[in-house]
A = this chain, B = another copy of it.
Amino acid sequence: MSGEPISAAAKGQRILLVEDDPNLGILLQDYLQLKGKYEVVLARDGEEGARQFSREKFDLCILDVMMPKKDGFTLGREIRKINPVIPIIFATAKTMIEDKSEAFTLGGDDYITKPFRIEELLLRINALLKRVNKQEKTPETETLDKFEIGDYLFDYTAQLIKKDDLQQKVSTKEAELLRLLCLKKNNVLTREEALISIWNDDNYFNGRSMDVFLSKLRKYLRDDPKVEIINVHGKGYKLIVN
Contacts and interface: CB of A to CB of B under 8 A. Distances in A.
A123 B47 contact: yes
Interface stretch (A88-96, A104-112, A210-218, A228-236): A228-236
Given A41-B2, A119-B47, A240-B158, A173 B127 contact: no
A51 B123 contact: yes
A86 to B, nearest CB: 15
Interface of A: 2-3, 5, 7, 9-10, 41-43, 47-48, 50-52, 54-56, 82, 117, 119-120, 122-123, 126-127, 130, 157-159, 171-173, 186, 228, 230-235, 238, 240, 242
26 contacts: A2-B42, A2-B43, A2-B52, A3-B41, A5-B56, A9-B55, A10-B55, A47-B119, A47-B120, A47-B123, A48-B119, A50-B123, A51-B119, A51-B122, A51-B123, A54-B126, A55-B126, A82-B130, A157-B240, A158-B230, A158-B242, A159-B230, A172-B231, A172-B232, A172-B235, A173-B233
Which 5 pairs across A and B sit closest by C-beta, in order of nearness? A7-B55, A54-B126, A172-B233, A172-B232, A158-B240
